[in-house]
Structure formats: structure tokens, C-alpha cells
Amino acid sequence: MITDIEKTSEGKMSKTISILKKDLASLRAGRANPAMLDRITVDYYGAETPLQQLANISAPEPRTILIQPWDIKAITLIEKAILKSDLSINPTNDGKVIRLAIPQLTEERRKDLVRLIKKMGEEAKIAIRNTRRDANDSLKKLKKDGILAEDDWKKAEDSMQKITDNHTQEIDSITEMKEKEIMEI
């Protein structure tokens, strides 16, 4: 029972970290990264379709993203979706491909992004702590029902705290690396 609770909690915490990594990858860091376009969906024949399903996306140069749609008719739809997004990048197309020129980040924009990264990291930590709280509540219920002895309950609670601390440290290191990447000129 205790191991089931720990495994479930650890799985939820790992999922929280993977979501954080995905969200951080989609932030614009001043260099071309195809993951920046992961959140963009295109209204393609009446269905909201992820951009990755409509085109080949690559970064041939450090400051350029190249989008090659499989259906040439989708170019204007993709351009509209990029313009509507929060990327603040103007796409250019030559009829066959779309190019996105990634501008250099200003110091102010870098600081805003660092604040956003810290906020995202804190939200992930809150999710981790909520998972720990839920696990501890389950353990308390087992103790209250007489299924779990006092010292077993204490050991399980300590184990949950160690799992939480490990995941929190991982979040700290992930956000720290992303902050360094953003502040790098």
C-alpha cells in the first residue's frame, strides 16, 4: 500500500517536471528552436491542427526557423496562426516555405522571461507539494483506519518528503539552466 502511494505520487511529480520542461522549451530564448512552435495550432479545414502535423519544421541557422508545409495551400493559414500567436515574430514566405527570423532579445525582454521562468518553476513546485499533501492524506487515512502502524506511517511520510525534495531540486536545476540560457548573449 505504501509503495503504491509512493509510486503514484512519484509518477505525478515526474509528469509535472516533464510538463515544465515542455513549457520551458517553448519559450523564445533568442535563438531558433523548433519547439517554440509547439503550442501553435492552425485552423486547417475547420479543425485546430498542431503546426507540427502540417509541416516540416527545422532550424537551419541559429536565428532562423524554416517551415515547409506538406500542403502548399496551408501556407497562408500557417502564417495567420503564427501572427495570432504570442511569439511576436513576422513570418515571410516565398510561396513554398515560411521563414521566421528570430530577433535578438532585449535586456528588458530577457528579464521578463526570467521572471516568467521563475513563476513557472514555482507553479511546478506547488504542484509537487500538492501531490505530497495528497499522498500524506492517504497515509493518514491508512493510519487512522488502523492499517498502518505509527512508526510505518512516520517512515512513509519521511520517504514522501525525500521524494518531494528530489523533485523540487530537479525543478530548481531545470529553471536555473533555462535562466542562464535566456541571459546568455
pLDDT in tens, 137-165: 999 999 898 888 888 889 999 999 999 99
pTM over 0.75: no
Q: Map out the domains of the chain as residue ranges.
A: 2-25+106-183, 34-101
Domain 34-101 has CATH 3.30.1360.40: yes
Q: How far apart are CA 124 and CA 16, in angstroms?
A: 6
Task: Tell me the average pLDDT across 58-79.
Answer: 89
The 10 Å Cβ neighbour count of residue 93 is: 14
Domain 2-25+106-183 has CATH 1.10.132.20: yes
Q: How far apart are CA 163 and CA 170, in angstroms?
A: 11
